[in-house]
A and B are shown apart, each in its own frame.
Chain A
Amino acid sequence: MLKTLIEAFALISTWEVIIAMFAASVYGLVIGSLPGLSATMATALLVPVTFYLSPIAAIATIVAASSMAIFSGDIPGALLRIPGTPASAAYADEAYAMTRKGQAELALGAGVWFSAVGGIAGVLSLMILAPPLAEVALSFSTFEYFWLALLGLMCATLVARSSPVKAIAGMFLGLLVSCIGIENPGGVPRFTFGLTDLFGGIEPIPALVGVFAVAQVMRAMLTPEPPPLPRRKFGSIMAGQWKLTKKYHWQMTRGNIVGIIIGVLPGAGADMAAWVSYAMSKRFSKEPEKFGTGHVEGLVEAGASNNASIASGWVPSLLFGIPGDTIAAIAIGVLYMKGLNPGPTLFTEKASSMYAIYLMFIIANILMIPLGIAMIRVAAYILLAPRSTVMPIIMLCCAVGSFAIGNNMFGVVTVAAFGVIGYVMEANGYPVAAMVLGIVMGTMVEQAFVTSLIKSDGSILPFFERPVAAILAAMAIGALLWPVMVWVWRKVKPVRTAVATSR
Chain B
Amino acid sequence: MRLPDSVTGSFLVALGAASAYGGYILPPVPGQPVGPNVFPLVIGIGLALCGLAIVFGIGHTFEEEEELIPLEDGQTAAAPPPQSKLYGLRALLPPALLLFYVIAADRLGFIITAALMVYVTSTALGAKWKLALPLAALSPFAIHLIFGKLLRVPLPAGLLPTPW
Contact = CB atoms under 8 A, between A and B. Distances in A.
B27 A169 contact: no
B88 A224 contact: no
Contacts of A161: 64
A453 interface: yes
Given A49-B151, A186-B27, A191-B22, A214 B98 contact: yes
Contact of B38 (A230, A450, A487): A450
A190 B40 contact: yes
Interface string A355-395: 00000000000000000000000000000001111011101
B91 A218 contact: yes
A353 to B, nearest CB: 23
A190 B62 CA distance: 35
B2 A428 contact: yes
B62 A454 contact: no
Interface stretch (A237-245, A246-254, A300-308, A411-419): A411-419
A176 B40 contact: yes
Contacts of A226: 78
Interface stretch (A133-141, A284-292, A398-406, A494-502): A398-406
A224 B80 contact: yes
A471 interface: no
Given A162-B62, A388-B127, A392-B117, A453 B53 contact: no
Contacts of B126: 225, 386, 388
A398 B98 contact: yes
A175 interface: yes
B32 A454 contact: yes
Interface in B52-107: 53-54, 58-64, 69, 71-72, 74-81, 87-88, 90-99, 101-102, 105
Nearest to B48: A172
Nearest to B151: A52
B162 interface: no
B77 to A, nearest CB: 7
Given A388-B127, A424-B1, A221 B94 contact: yes
A169 B47 contact: yes
Output the residue of A165, A389, A454 with the most chain B CB within 10 A. A165
A222 interface: yes
Contacts of B132: 388
Output the residue of A162, A173, A430 with the most chain B CB within 10 A. A173
A184 B22 CA distance: 14
A469 interface: no
B112 interface: no
Main secondary structure of the interface of A (DSSP, over half): helix
Nearest to A49: B151
A209 to B, nearest CB: 11
Interface residues on A, range: 35 or more
A165 B47 contact: no
Output the residue of B34, B75, B117 with the most chain A CB within 10 A. B34
Nearest to A429: B63
Nearest to B44: A176
A166 interface: yes
A176 B97 contact: no
Interface string A474-503: 000000000110010010000000000000
A449 B35 CA distance: 11
Given A217-B121, A227-B75, A416 B95 contact: yes
Interface residues on B, range: 35 or more
A93 B46 CA distance: 40
B14 interface: no
B81 A224 contact: yes
Interface in B119-159: 119, 121-127, 131-132, 135-136, 139-140, 143, 147, 151-155
A424 to B, nearest CB: 6
B34 A454 contact: yes
Interface string A87-102: 0000001001000100
A415 B125 contact: no
Contacts of A186: 26-29, 35-37
A502 B78 CA distance: 54
B97 A388 contact: no
A427 interface: yes
A455 to B, nearest CB: 10
B59 A163 contact: yes
B108 interface: no
A311 B69 CA distance: 31
A185 interface: yes
Interface string A139-172: 0000000000000000000000111111011001
B37 to A, nearest CB: 8
Contact of B93 (A80, A221, A398, A401): A221
A175 B42 CA distance: 10
A40 B28 CA distance: 39
B13 to A, nearest CB: 10
Contact of B78 (A188, A227, A419): A227
Contacts of B2: 427-428
Given A49-B151, A490-B61, A185 B121 contact: no
A408 B1 CA distance: 31
B45 to A, nearest CB: 9
A129 interface: no
Output the residue of A172, A223, A391, A446 with the most chain B CB within 10 A. A172
A173 B42 CA distance: 12
Given A172-B46, A176-B15, A416-B96, 6 more contacts: A52-B152, A164-B59, A164-B62, A175-B43, A227-B71, A392-B121
12 contacts: A166-B63, A176-B44, A185-B35, A227-B76, A230-B74, A389-B127, A392-B136, A404-B147, A416-B99, A450-B34, A453-B38, A483-B62
Q: Report the 7 A-B pairs with minimum CB-CB distance, sorted nearest first.
A: A224-B78, A165-B59, A388-B127, A186-B36, A458-B33, A388-B125, A416-B98
